[in-house]
A and B are shown apart, each in its own frame.
Chain A
């Protein structure tokens, strides 16, 4: 009995000391949000932990969850594939959107014997509205004279879970089609006029691979990694662009707003792929809230700075598109504007 008591006391003291040490010395940052950049973030945070000794915990619970957690101020930063609306900004206070990397959404299809498929914005909208029903529709055939298009019904596949990918894709459709804008609109989850739903990128890709004559949208990374054929799309300047990391980055070579709350779908950039977008890290502009220490705020600013500079080299190997020069410049000035007690943290 005495022995047990002694061990218990020892354990208790040990735990107490351990708790005090971690509380006093280690600066830890926590974040939550978007799943799309999760592989990149975990790589970046892992390297950063080895280089600078600062531990960052990121839980990929989805953009919506990330925003809710940031609102509740339980995390140091949120990750999101969609920017906050004016209404949300008004409720949450001043929040900065720091772009970290770019992603593209591609249209993967399942048509045996068709290696290349070209589509125009009008065709994409009509296919997903359910107006063009057959693959051998004269409009598609005219654009792809060499392709042997089957006399089969088009099965569209979309994401069943709310996602930033859906947001980017529906934002694009709303920009190119008035009918889409009025009937369906833009959102992380929408009321799809037709088709099947798959959970996550793997779900959509799985359905496209299995269902003959189907077409669905997935992240570029996912299509590349799984070698699924995807369509070449006509952009705003009339050129047909094959989705790639280069054409994705190119889509952000345009004039960007200072707060970086921008959807670059249907881009003006000449060589830009039309369905691409940023993924952001959201932070409070004023970092002194909830009794946060200056060290924590400083660590966060350093991390963000590192992510948009040194961190960018990890993007390509993981199939993410790096930020364009223009975007990095904007990100720099945003990070520099972060304050603690009204004083700028970086100079």
Chain B
């Protein structure tokens, strides 16, 4: 007993550091009690500004390096269909189309799944604290932590053969790789982003409103349809946009399964290429100046596309928020 008490005393001493030196330093420099608050505020402000500066610097370095290419090709850089590093013709339309096709297709595939998952985990169909709910939640979070190259392998070894089987059965060129395959892999990759956010906003729907609905004799589906979804519209949209952003920028997994053909895709099964993927592929060996500058030019286009989508998203979220 005695021994135990002594030990306790020791631990208390250990966890209670001596801050008197801090007071002495403060006194020495003539710092009053408001000063730390002021300093903290400035530090936070600087950190915030740092993000802004970084964004602007990225944009500046991208634009500065891509000017030679924009000057040479003008509008043709955006609407040209030929990407030819040998004869120095750089048109990026196939990559823009490839990027938008894969990411929006992936989004279309992912929305029903992520919505279902977030409704299920949001407490409508499962006890929030149950073991199974926790297991599901953690596995979805785990999905977001898997490196994209692993998704690429998964796509290559599992999804590609399945898609090829479908293609053989339906008489399409049996490549297996292509826009469709890339979209499926992408849709799995982005589920955690939209599902997690969706689940969080659905959990926040006040119980009173839901109970009011049930008390009026509404079925579970009617509560979801008329109460939960309208209430969570903006949060769910935000999650979907986050997922879209991720899909547009994804490189490695897409490169591995899209077929890397620099031509305009003919249908959703044809091999294509995306903006992020062409940059990753050709950047290391881009020796010619114009080639280098055109690849950075694609970076600018990617930046613009992401910005436009993010702004559009903000507008949509605001509109929904007003209505609800």
Return A79 CB to nearest CB of chain B, in Å.
12
Whether the Cβ atoms of B284 and A64 lie closer than 8 Å is yes
**Within the assembled complex, what's the spacing in Å between the Cα atoms of A304 and B87?**
35
Whether the Cβ atoms of B284 and A162 lie closer than 8 Å is yes
**Within the assembled complex, what's the spacing in Å between the Cα atoms of A197 and B254?**
12
Q: Could you tell me which A residues sit within 8 Å of B by CB distance?
A: 1, 61-65, 67-68, 82, 88, 153, 155, 160-164, 170, 184-192, 195-199, 203, 206-207, 210-212
Asked if B262 is at the interface (CB within 8 A of a chain A CB), the reply is: yes
Q: Which of B169-177, B234-242, B297-305 faces chain A?
A: B169-177
Whether the Cβ atoms of A162 and B86 lie closer than 8 Å is no
Return B17 CB to nearest CB of chain A, in Å.
10
Name 8 interchain pairs, CB-CB below 8 A, sorted by A. A63-B285, A68-B287, A162-B281, A188-B287, A192-B262, A198-B260, A207-B177, A211-B175
As a 0/1 sequence over residues 260 to 283 of chain B, the CB contacts with chain A under 8 angstroms (1 = contact) are: 111000000001010001001111
Return B193 CB to nearest CB of chain A, in Å.
25
As a 0/1 sequence over residues 173 to 199 of chain B, the CB contacts with chain A under 8 angstroms (1 = contact) are: 111110000000000000000000000
Whether the Cβ atoms of B286 and A185 lie closer than 8 Å is no
Q: Which residue of A lies closest to B18 (CB)?
A: A1
Whether the Cβ atoms of A185 and B87 lie closer than 8 Å is yes
Asked if B85 is at the interface (CB within 8 A of a chain A CB), the reply is: yes
**Within the assembled complex, what's the spacing in Å between the Cα atoms of A263 and B82?**
28
Set of chain A residues within 8 Å of B262, measured between Cβ atoms: 191-192, 197
Asked if B249 is at the interface (CB within 8 A of a chain A CB), the reply is: no
Set of chain B residues within 8 Å of A153, measured between Cβ atoms: 173
Whether the Cβ atoms of A188 and B175 lie closer than 8 Å is no
Return A199 CB to nearest CB of chain B, in Å.
5
Q: Which residue of B lies closest to A60 (CB)?
A: B284
**Within the assembled complex, what's the spacing in Å between the Cα atoms of A211 and B86?**
28
**Within the assembled complex, what's the spacing in Å between the Cα atoms of A162 and B279?**
10
Whether the Cβ atoms of B161 and A190 lie closer than 8 Å is no
Asked if B68 is at the interface (CB within 8 A of a chain A CB), the reply is: no
With A63-B287, A160-B255, A188-B287 known as contacts, the answer to whether A199 contacts B281 (CB < 8 A) is yes
Whether the Cβ atoms of A199 and B260 lie closer than 8 Å is yes
Set of chain A residues within 8 Å of B202, measured between Cβ atoms: none
**Within the assembled complex, what's the spacing in Å between the Cα atoms of A164 and B283?**
13
Whether the Cβ atoms of B285 and A161 lie closer than 8 Å is yes
Whether the Cβ atoms of A160 and B281 lie closer than 8 Å is yes
B218-273, CB < 8 A from A: 255-256, 259-262, 271, 273
With A162-B285, A191-B262, A210-B156 known as contacts, the answer to whether A199 contacts B256 (CB < 8 A) is yes
| Candidates A82, A197, A206; contact of B156 at CB < 8 Å | A206
Give the number of residues in B that approach A within 8 Å (Cβ atoms).
35
**Within the assembled complex, what's the spacing in Å between the Cα atoms of A82 and B86?**
14
**Within the assembled complex, what's the spacing in Å between the Cα atoms of A188 and B281?**
11
Whether the Cβ atoms of A192 and B261 lie closer than 8 Å is yes
**Within the assembled complex, what's the spacing in Å between the Cα atoms of A199 and B273?**
12
**Within the assembled complex, what's the spacing in Å between the Cα atoms of A1 and B260?**
60
With A196-B260, A196-B261, A203-B256 known as contacts, the answer to whether A162 contacts B176 (CB < 8 A) is no
Main secondary structure, interface of B, reads loop
| Candidates A1, A185, A188, A203; contact of B285 at CB < 8 Å | A188
Return B83 CB to nearest CB of chain A, in Å.
6
| Candidates A64, A163, A185, A198; contact of B86 at CB < 8 Å | A185
Return A256 CB to nearest CB of chain B, in Å.
23
Set of chain B residues within 8 Å of A190, measured between Cβ atoms: 84-86
Return A280 CB to nearest CB of chain B, in Å.
14
Set of chain A residues within 8 Å of B96, measured between Cβ atoms: none
**Within the assembled complex, what's the spacing in Å between the Cα atoms of A164 and B85?**
14
Return B18 CB to nearest CB of chain A, in Å.
9
| Candidates B83, B259, B284; contact of A62 at CB < 8 Å | B284
Whether the Cβ atoms of A196 and B83 lie closer than 8 Å is no
Q: Which residue of B lies closest to A82 (CB)?
A: B287
Asked if B21 is at the interface (CB within 8 A of a chain A CB), the reply is: yes
**Within the assembled complex, what's the spacing in Å between the Cα atoms of A203 and B280?**
14
| Candidates B83, B176, B280, B282; contact of A210 at CB < 8 Å | B176
**Within the assembled complex, what's the spacing in Å between the Cα atoms of A203 and B153?**
11
Set of chain B residues within 8 Å of A62, measured between Cβ atoms: 284-285
B73-102, CB < 8 A from A: 82-87, 89
**Within the assembled complex, what's the spacing in Å between the Cα atoms of A63 and B287?**
8
| Candidates B86, B273, B283; contact of A187 at CB < 8 Å | B86
Set of chain B residues within 8 Å of A61, measured between Cβ atoms: 284
Set of chain A residues within 8 Å of B260, measured between Cβ atoms: 160, 196-199
Return A208 CB to nearest CB of chain B, in Å.
12
Q: Which residue of B lies closest to A188 (CB)?
A: B285
Set of chain A residues within 8 Å of B256, measured between Cβ atoms: 199, 203
Whether the Cβ atoms of B282 and A155 lie closer than 8 Å is no
**Within the assembled complex, what's the spacing in Å between the Cα atoms of A62 and B282?**
10
Asked if B160 is at the interface (CB within 8 A of a chain A CB), the reply is: yes
Set of chain B residues within 8 Å of A64, measured between Cβ atoms: 284-287
Set of chain A residues within 8 Å of B89, measured between Cβ atoms: 191
Set of chain B residues within 8 Å of A195, measured between Cβ atoms: 261
Whether the Cβ atoms of B261 and A212 lie closer than 8 Å is no
**Within the assembled complex, what's the spacing in Å between the Cα atoms of A341 and B282?**
38
Q: Which residue of A lies closest to B83 (CB)?
A: A191
Q: Which residue of B lies closest to A213 (CB)?
A: B174
Set of chain A residues within 8 Å of B291, measured between Cβ atoms: 189
Return B236 CB to nearest CB of chain A, in Å.
35
Set of chain B residues within 8 Å of A184, measured between Cβ atoms: 86
**Within the assembled complex, what's the spacing in Å between the Cα atoms of A211 and B281?**
21
Whether the Cβ atoms of A65 and B160 lie closer than 8 Å is no
Known contacts A185-B86, A191-B86; can you find 5 more A-B pairs with CB under 8 A?
Answer: A62-B284, A160-B281, A162-B285, A192-B261, A197-B271
With A64-B285, A196-B261 known as contacts, the answer to whether A186 contacts B173 (CB < 8 A) is no
Whether the Cβ atoms of A211 and B176 lie closer than 8 Å is yes
Return A188 CB to nearest CB of chain B, in Å.
4
Q: Which residue of A lies closest to B85 (CB)?
A: A189
Return B257 CB to nearest CB of chain A, in Å.
10
Whether the Cβ atoms of A186 and B86 lie closer than 8 Å is yes
B140-164, CB < 8 A from A: 156, 160-161, 164
**Within the assembled complex, what's the spacing in Å between the Cα atoms of A189 and B281?**
9
Set of chain B residues within 8 Å of A1, measured between Cβ atoms: 21
